């Protein structure tokens, strides 16, 4: 098989995939030969998968990960170059920024399982998740300044709100490569694990979240993200608080506390 044919065959089977097991959903990037770079055609697929997660009520937590040695090399630079030379973007294809905004708005808490290095736009894709767990061999790199790319607003807001202004300036304005220990220190990683413990740490966090009261957890996730953006919708916040106050989950949580047992929440 020629190199072109091999690339075509790989691309045909390289779209992101979704697996649902009970309360946990997993979206996986499947282009390891190219370090799981995000192609333009991947964006509508990922948006549909996120819609599926949101509409599947038993799902209470989403894990986003990659296949192979990298989490993701970010948005395909070849496509970015074509857009620049052609003077425009791909007609009808949602932007990478739209994907990150949609991921941040996912109904359920999200965990990014950083199986390897995270580069370019995918550093923001991971930041759009609620938690990031990586292993000691990973690194991150934001090359926008080195490439002459002015980054989009939503991504810069996420960097500043999650990492602070100093760290955001350091990463955007110097294009410095940062190792796993430093990623943890600046708050990019929620948790750092030895490579052999990565899956166990991700599983433990996913299971813990799945055991929480979903109405309360999902409502607080939304409120916290709105507060971080300075866009808190107080009317909707009060409506969610009222719904939790009248929920069967609250009654179950209080019963379980009195009976010294683990609660079993139904999300209603």
pLDDT tens for residues 95-148?
999 999 999 999 999 999 999 999 999 999 999 999 999 999 999 999 999 999
pLDDT of residue 87: 42
pLDDT tens for residues 159-179?
999 999 999 999 999 999 999
pLDDT tens for residues 207-229?
999 999 999 999 999 999 999 99
Q: In which order are the strands placed within the sheet that holds 70-72?
A: 70-72, 117-119, 139-141, 178-179
**How many CB atoms within 10 Å of residue 146?**
10
For the chain, helix (H) and strand (E) counts, in that order, are 13, 10
In sequence order, the 6+-apart residues with CB closer than 8 A to the CB of 94 are 43, 44, 47
Q: pTM for the complete prediction? A: 0.89
pLDDT tens for residues 30-50?
999 999 999 999 999 999 999
- Residue 119 to residue 148: CA distance in whole angstroms: 16
Q: Are 109 and 131 within 8 A, CB to CB?
A: yes
Across 20-36, average pLDDT: 95
Helix, strand, coil shares of the chain, percent, nearest 5, are 55, 15, 30
């Amino acid at each position: 098989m020629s190199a072109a044919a091999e690339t075509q065959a790989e691309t045909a089977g390289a779209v992101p995939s979704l697996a649902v097991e009970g309360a946990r959903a997993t979206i996986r990037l499947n282009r390891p030969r190219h370090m799981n770079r995000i192609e333009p055609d991947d964006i509508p697929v990922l948006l549909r998968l996120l819609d599926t997660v949101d509409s599947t009520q038993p799902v209470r937590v989403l894990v986003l990960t990659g296949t192979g040695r990298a989490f993701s090399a970010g948005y395909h630079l070849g496509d970015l170059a074509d857009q620049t030379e052609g003077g425009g973007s791909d007609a009808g294809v949602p932007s990478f920024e739209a994907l990150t905004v949609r991921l941040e708005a996912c109904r359920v808490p999200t965990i990014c399982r950083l199986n390897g290095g995270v580069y370019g736009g995918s550093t923001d894709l991971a930041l759009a998740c609620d938690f990031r767990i990586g292993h000691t061999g990973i690194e991150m790199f934001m090359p926008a300044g080195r490439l002459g790319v002015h980054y989009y607003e939503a991504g810069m807001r996420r960097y500043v709100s999650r990492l602070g202004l100093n760290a955001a300036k350091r990463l955007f304005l110097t294009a410095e490569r940062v190792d796993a220990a430093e990623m943890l220190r600046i708050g990019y990683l929620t948790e750092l694990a030895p490579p052999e413990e990565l899956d166990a740490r991700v599983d433990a966090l996913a299971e813990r979240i799945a055991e929480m009261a979903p109405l309360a957890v999902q409502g607080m996730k939304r409120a916290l993200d709105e507060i971080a953006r300075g866009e808190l919708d107080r009317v909707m916040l009060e409506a969610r608080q009222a719904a939790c106050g009248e929920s069967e989950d609250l009654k179950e949580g209080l019963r379980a506390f009195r009976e010294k047992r683990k609660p079993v929440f139904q999300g209603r």
